[in-house]
Amino acid sequence: MRIETLDLTKEEHYKEAEKLYLMNEKWLKDDYTPDFKTLAGIIQANLEYNGKGVICYVNGELYGILFARIDRFNIADIHALTNQSHHFFISQKFLRAFVEYLFEFEGVNKIKAEVIINNSNSEIACRYAGFTKEGLLRNERKINSRFHNVLLLAITRKDYDFQCNKFPNRDRKFYKDIKKELRSNLLEIIRKIKNGRI
């Protein structure tokens, strides 16, 4: 896995991000961001203001982009674009690493993520990274003239510190367990999350 700092003024990063946008277009092309150029401008403006972003390659192939806008209260809003053809396990590891980076090196107090209610892969990746549900935003996103509910997830500094203290060697076992679980039924994973076993 190779990770670089995201900069959409670089032609290579811009083209890679556009590829990911086209793969995820049904979730991203809403009435507020009608095309990639608009979205890229918003992302780059946030990166230049007070944001952090990374682009990830797996075995030399583009995997995904994660970026966060950090406000004046040190609260980060996290967003992702990923290559759907890659193994789901990688997205969890990638997200977890970015969360650790934001807490350890950027000193954020809280990280928030918004997930469209039918996007179960993104929700599970967030849950594995330590996020918990904070609420439901009804009719929050408008895609193809249809409103969708959005799940608001978050992890605080206190949650993160608790997880690190309670599970000091969590990551090795954590990812090994996830890999095994992903071979089994997805419903079983969801059931374990709901019962607090993961």
Quick: pLDDT tens for 33-92.
Answer: 667 888 888 888 888 888 888 888 877 888 888 889 999 899 999 988 877 655 555 577
pLDDT at 197: 55
Write out the two tokens for 85.
Answer: 């053809």
CATH number of the domain enclosing 101: 3.40.630.30
Q: How far is CA 122 from CA 27, 45, 60, 131, 160, in A?
A: 12, 25, 23, 11, 19
Write out the two tokens for 29.
Answer: 């092309």
User: What is the pLDDT confidence band of residue 154, given thresholds at 50, 70 and 90?
Assistant: very high
pLDDT at 131: 93
Residue in this structure with the two tokens 């549900």, named with its chain if needed: 133
Mean pLDDT of 159-174: 64
Judged against a pLDDT cut of 90, whether residue 109 lies above it is answered with yes
Could you give phi then psi for residue 40, rounded to 5 degrees? -60, -40
pLDDT at 150: 92
- For Cα atoms 16, 27, 69, give the angle at the middle one, nearest 5 degrees: 65
Q: Please give the tally of structural domains in the chain.
A: 1
Question: In sequence order, what E strands does the chain have?
Answer: 2-5, 51-58, 61-70, 75-82, 110-116, 132-143, 146-156
Percent of the chain with pLDDT over 70: 75
Judged against a pLDDT cut of 70, whether residue 178 lies above it is answered with no
pLDDT at 192: 57
User: What is the pLDDT confidence band of residue 179, given thresholds at 50, 70 and 90?
Assistant: very low
Q: Of residues 77 and 198, which shows the higher confidence score?
A: 77
Judged against a pLDDT cut of 60, whether residue 123 lies above it is answered with yes
Q: Of residues 44 and 176, which shows the higher confidence score?
A: 44
Q: Of residues 58 and 104, which shows the higher confidence score?
A: 104
pLDDT at 22: 83
* Structural domain of 127: 2-194
pLDDT at 87: 52
